[in-house]
Chain A
Amino acid sequence: MYSLALQDVLYEHKLHPTLSMSGEEKKIKMQTVIPKTSAALTSLLRADFTTQWRNRRSVVLLLLVPVIILISWKGLIAKMGGAFALSTCITIGLTAIGLMGYSNAIARDRDKGVFQRLRVTPVPTWSIMVSRLIVQLVLILLVTTFVFIVGSEYDEVTLSPAGYTLTFVTAFVGGALYLGLGQMIVGLVKNAETVNSTTRLVYFVFIMVGMFGDLGVLGEELKKIIHWSPYGTVKAILAGSMQPSNWSSQTSLALLATIAYAVAFSYLGIKKFRWNTQ
């Protein structure tokens, strides 16, 4: 009989604590302690990184747009400055991470009930999200490093060590803004398909309006608006940190604005977030 075979296997390999005991104590124990959160987080991280690895084609796409820009702008870079080009590319990469990558993965898993399954286990709910976010932080690191390498190898734009270090820091701050924006979208929009189209639209608008407006193609008024938009403030802090000596009070204001955006988006996104779509 099947169930007997099960017990035999388990017994033989002492897999089952209760089965390997003598008949008298053949009982299951009640747990009086919660499994360690650090162990749970490690397992979640392994799973989330594996998932990201299986989706590595989307990471390639993430890197593709910045590369295309760096390559096609090669001639222009002398005119507009290395910092302008690199900060544009990193901003676009960060936008893609927060909007396309993070929010769509969350929306899809929520739709499929992946979160509900995790939530019935004794892991604190925050650890489910923290694990996801750590994967995103690694992606931010990856995109930033990648832009630096292509920028230096292909466009011969190099920064001072302080410039590189500071830019990694501001990339995380800017990344937080876009992850917050992604969180806000999955908080406000329940349906995974709608999240997908919304994030695509926002991404497209950000890149098109941001990039061209920033170049002054769309007029002075819009340029000013863009400068204080989530696109502009992130770009400003990135460009500012690439040349620390040029960091101005305007850059500091942009940093404050970026943090304010990040906090506001995340607050709304977390407050409105539902773990299931039913």
Chain B
Amino acid sequence: MNNKPGSSILQVNGLNVSYGTFHAVRNVSFEVKAGEIFGLLGPNGAGKTSTLSAVEGLLKPQSGTITVAGFDTAKKPLHAKANMGVQLQATSFQPELTLAEIIKLYAGIYCVELTREKLQNILQDIKLEGSSSKKFKELSGGQQQRVSLVIATIHDPVLVLMDEPTTGLDPQARRQLWERIEAMREKGHGILLTTHSMEEAEAVCDRIAIMDHGNVIAIDTPQVLIDTHRNDQNVISVSRKGKITLEDVFIGLTGRTVRT
């Protein structure tokens, strides 16, 4: 299998996830292609993290199939995992370990050879060359984000999963991360990210899926979504200053109520 731009590297089909009797993800299907940034949007509790967790193998879906780089995650979980890099919503590394030790650990897990020089390059690349002996929690939010991204992609996976990667970042750090994500797209990685920022979705995502109450209610490019819904009454009623934005479409489709 190869990853020509446009070839499918993640396929989610009829995914259902339940927590006890609570049905969190309902019949979700989508696909992420090589060289594509795919955004998963939705209000709090929509089921974004649950969907990602199923792809990552952290929870067992009730039904549905997930294929990563051609490997069924239920049948070949380790092969699927070898092809994905993951940044979790709440990442934590061993608190006793230094940055250098954490990077070495993950490089070792993926059998990526890591010379002293390579390690230096990685640290330089994320502008943390002076911090190799710092602990993860001693870093700022933006620095932590860079570290977890560099670890997520240390084995150069075809599929990169990121759960709210820019939450809590300042505008500079956010732009920097966007550039990194876009550079990964140029190289042919397929990227699946979740975000609450409509601006971000419009700026970096090639395609987005909007989830609500566990369902995917829309899936397309941001522009097409805006165009198809610009005449919806719900969308117009929430728009401001007469211009329809992706946020208007999002609120128009998912409603104004704040999720509890």
Verify if A245 is at the interface (C-beta below 8 Å from B): no
Interface-forming stretch among B25-33, B82-90, B218-226, B228-236? B82-90
Which A residues touch B104, using CB under 8 A?
43, 46
Interface-forming stretch among B107-115, B200-208, B243-251, B252-260? B107-115
CB-nearest residue of chain A to B4: A27
B179:A3 contact, CB within 8 angstroms: yes
Verify if A13 is at the interface (C-beta below 8 Å from B): yes
CB-nearest residue of chain B to A113: B92
User: A15-B118, A44-B105 are contacts. A9–B124 as well, Cβ < 8 Å?
Assistant: yes
Give the complex CA separation of A2 and B177 in angstroms. 10
How many whole Å from A15's CB to the nearest CB in chain B?
5
Pairs A-B, 10 closest by C-beta atoms: A43-B108, A35-B111, A54-B96, A122-B81, A3-B183, A112-B92, A3-B179, A120-B86, A122-B82, A31-B82
Query: Which residues of B are in contact with A by a Cβ distance under 8 Å?
Result: 1-4, 9, 56-58, 69-70, 78-79, 81-84, 86, 88, 90-97, 101-102, 104-111, 117-118, 121-122, 124-125, 155-158, 176, 179-180, 182-183, 187-189
Verify if A22 is at the interface (C-beta below 8 Å from B): no
Other than the known A27-B188, A40-B109, what 14 A-B pairs have Cβ atoms closer than 8 Å?
A: A7-B183, A13-B121, A15-B121, A18-B187, A28-B158, A30-B1, A30-B70, A31-B157, A43-B106, A44-B105, A47-B97, A114-B92, A117-B91, A122-B82
Give the complex CA separation of A136 and B158 in angstroms. 37
Which B residues touch A46, using CB under 8 A?
104-105, 108
Verify if A72 is at the interface (C-beta below 8 Å from B): no
Which B residues touch A152, using CB under 8 A?
none
CB-nearest residue of chain A to B81: A122
A28:B91 contact, CB within 8 angstroms: no
How many whole Å from A129's CB to the nearest CB in chain B?
15
Give the complex CA separation of A29 and B189 in angstroms. 10
Which B residues touch A3, using CB under 8 A?
179-180, 182-183
Which A residues touch B81, using CB under 8 A?
120-122
CB-nearest residue of chain A to B117: A13
Which B residues touch A68, using CB under 8 A?
none
Verify if A150 is at the interface (C-beta below 8 Å from B): no
How many whole Å from B115's CB to the nearest CB in chain A?
10
Selected from B82, B117, B156, B180, the residue in CB contact (under 8 A) with A18 is: B156
26 cross-chain CB contacts under 8 A: A2-B176, A13-B117, A13-B118, A13-B121, A18-B187, A19-B187, A28-B3, A28-B189, A30-B158, A31-B79, A31-B158, A34-B79, A34-B82, A39-B111, A40-B108, A43-B105, A44-B108, A44-B109, A46-B108, A47-B97, A47-B101, A54-B96, A117-B88, A122-B78, A122-B81, A275-B58
B96:A10 contact, CB within 8 angstroms: no
Instruction: Tell me the A11-61 residues at the B interface (CB within 8 Å).
Output: 13, 15-19, 26-36, 39-40, 42-44, 46-47, 50-51, 54-55
How many whole Å from B232's CB to the nearest CB in chain A?
36
Which B residues touch A5, using CB under 8 A?
125
B101:A17 contact, CB within 8 angstroms: no
Query: Which residues of A are in contact with B by a Cβ distance under 8 Å?
Result: 1-3, 5-7, 9-10, 13, 15-19, 26-36, 39-40, 42-44, 46-47, 50-51, 54-55, 109, 112-114, 116-124, 275-276
Give the complex CA separation of A276 and B121 in angstroms. 34
Selected from A16, A26, A32, the residue in CB contact (under 8 A) with B188 is: A26
Which A residues touch B187, using CB under 8 A?
18-19, 26-28
Which B residues touch A1, using CB under 8 A?
179
CB-nearest residue of chain B to A276: B58
Which B residues touch A2, using CB under 8 A?
176, 179-180
Which A residues touch B57, using CB under 8 A?
119-120
Give the complex CA separation of A6 and B176 in angstroms. 11
CB-nearest residue of chain A to B49: A278
Which B residues touch A28, using CB under 8 A?
3, 156-158, 187-189
B125:A10 contact, CB within 8 angstroms: yes
Give the complex CA separation of A9 and B1 in angstroms. 29
A9:B183 contact, CB within 8 angstroms: no
Give the complex CA separation of A27 and B6 in angstroms. 13
How many whole Å from A41's CB to the nearest CB in chain B?
9
Give the complex CA separation of A219 and B183 in angstroms. 75
Which A residues touch B155, using CB under 8 A?
31, 35
A51:B96 contact, CB within 8 angstroms: yes
Selected from B1, B2, B91, B101, the residue in CB contact (under 8 A) with A113 is: B91
Give the complex CA separation of A242 and B111 in angstroms. 45
Give the complex CA separation of A118 and B108 in angstroms. 12
Give the complex CA separation of A162 and B141 in angstroms. 57
Give the complex CA separation of A18 and B56 in angstroms. 24
Give the complex CA separation of A42 and B107 in angstroms. 11
Give the complex CA separation of A154 and B134 in angstroms. 42
